[in-house]
Chain A
Amino acid sequence: MKRSSDDRRFRLGTGAFAALVLLIVVGIAIELTRQSTLSIAKFGLKFWTTSTWDPVSGMFGALPFIWGTLYSSVLALLVAAPVALGIAIFISELSPRLLKQPLAYLTELLAAIPSIVYGLWGMFVLVPLVRKFEIAMGAKPALGVGMLAGALILAVMVIPFTSSVAREILKNVPSTQREAAYALGATRWEAIKVAIGFGKSGIIGAVMLGFGRALGETIAVTMVIGNAPQVTASLFKPQYTMAAVIANEFSEAADELYLHALIEIGLLLFIITIVVNILSRLLIWSMKRRVAAPAVTQLLAEEVPV
Chain B
Amino acid sequence: MKRKSLVVLLSIALAACQSNENESKTQQGTPAAPASGSLTINGAGATFPNPIYSKWFDEYQKSHPEVHINYQSIGSGAGIRQLTAQTVFFGASDGPMLDAQLQSAPGAILHFPTVLGGVVPVYNLSGVTAPLRFTGPLLADIYLGKVTKWNDPAIATINPGVKLPDADIVVVHRSDGSGTNYIFCDFLSKVSLDFSKKVGVATSVDWPVGVGAKGNEGVSGLVLQTPGAIGYVELIYALQNKMPFGAVQNNAGQFVTASLQSVTIAAAGVPMPDDFRVSITNSNAVDAYPIASFTWFLLYQHPTDKARSKAMVDFVRWALKDGQKFAPSLGYAPLPQAVVEKEIQALSKIQ
* CB < 8 Å neighbour of B214 from A57, A222, A252: A222
Question: Is the beta-carbon distance between B202 and A56 smaller than 8 angstroms?
Answer: yes
**B contacts with A, residue count (CB < 8 A):** 37
In the complex, whether B222 has a CB less than 8 A from a CB of chain A is yes
Question: Is the beta-carbon distance between A251 and B199 smaller than 8 angstroms?
Answer: no
In the complex, whether B205 has a CB less than 8 A from a CB of chain A is yes
* CB < 8 Å neighbour of B176 from A128, A141, A145, A252: A252
Cβ of A226: which chain B residues have Cβ within 8 Å of it?
211-212
Question: Is the beta-carbon distance between B168 and A223 smaller than 8 angstroms?
Answer: no
Cβ of A247: which chain B residues have Cβ within 8 Å of it?
176
Chain B: interface secondary structure? loop
In the complex, whether B218 has a CB less than 8 A from a CB of chain A is yes
In the complex, whether A249 has a CB less than 8 A from a CB of chain B is yes
User: Beyond A141-B170, A228-B212, A249-B177, is A254–B77 a contact (Cβ under 8 Å)?
Assistant: yes
Size range of the chain A interface in the assembly? 20 to 34
In the complex, whether A54 has a CB less than 8 A from a CB of chain B is yes
Contact with A along B201-219 (1 / 0, CB 8 A): 1111111001111100010
* CB < 8 Å neighbour of B211 from A53, A124, A227: A227
Question: Is the beta-carbon distance between A222 and B199 smaller than 8 angstroms?
Answer: no
In the complex, whether A131 has a CB less than 8 A from a CB of chain B is yes
Instruction: Give the one of A52, A55, A248, A252 with max B CB within 10 A.
Output: A252
CB interface residues, B 93-108, toward A, < 8 Å: 97-98, 100-101
In the complex, whether B259 has a CB less than 8 A from a CB of chain A is no
In the complex, whether B31 has a CB less than 8 A from a CB of chain A is no
Question: Is the beta-carbon distance between B214 and A141 smaller than 8 angstroms?
Answer: no
Question: Is the beta-carbon distance between B178 and A131 smaller than 8 angstroms?
Answer: no
* CB < 8 Å neighbour of B205 from A55, A131, A254: A55
Question: Is the beta-carbon distance between A251 and B78 smaller than 8 angstroms?
Answer: yes
In the complex, whether A194 has a CB less than 8 A from a CB of chain B is no
Question: Is the beta-carbon distance between A123 and B218 smaller than 8 angstroms?
Answer: yes
User: Beyond A228-B207, A228-B212, is A252–B225 a contact (Cβ under 8 Å)?
Assistant: no
Question: Is the beta-carbon distance between B211 and A252 smaller than 8 angstroms?
Answer: no
Contact with A along B160-176 (1 / 0, CB 8 A): 00000000101000011
In the complex, whether A104 has a CB less than 8 A from a CB of chain B is no
Cβ of A228: which chain B residues have Cβ within 8 Å of it?
207, 210-212
Residue of B nearest to A54 (CB): B206
In the complex, whether A144 has a CB less than 8 A from a CB of chain B is yes
Residue of B nearest to A128 (CB): B225
Cβ of B199: which chain A residues have Cβ within 8 Å of it?
56
Contact with B along A226-263 (1 / 0, CB 8 A): 11100000000010100010011111111100000000
Q: List 11 A-B contacts (CB under 8 A).
A: A54-B206, A124-B221, A143-B211, A222-B175, A223-B214, A238-B211, A249-B177, A251-B77, A252-B76, A252-B204, A254-B97
**Apart from A143-B211, A254-B101: 18 A-B pairs, beta carbons within 8 A:** A52-B206, A56-B201, A123-B222, A124-B221, A141-B168, A141-B170, A141-B228, A144-B225, A145-B222, A228-B207, A228-B211, A244-B175, A248-B175, A252-B77, A252-B177, A254-B76, A254-B203, A255-B100
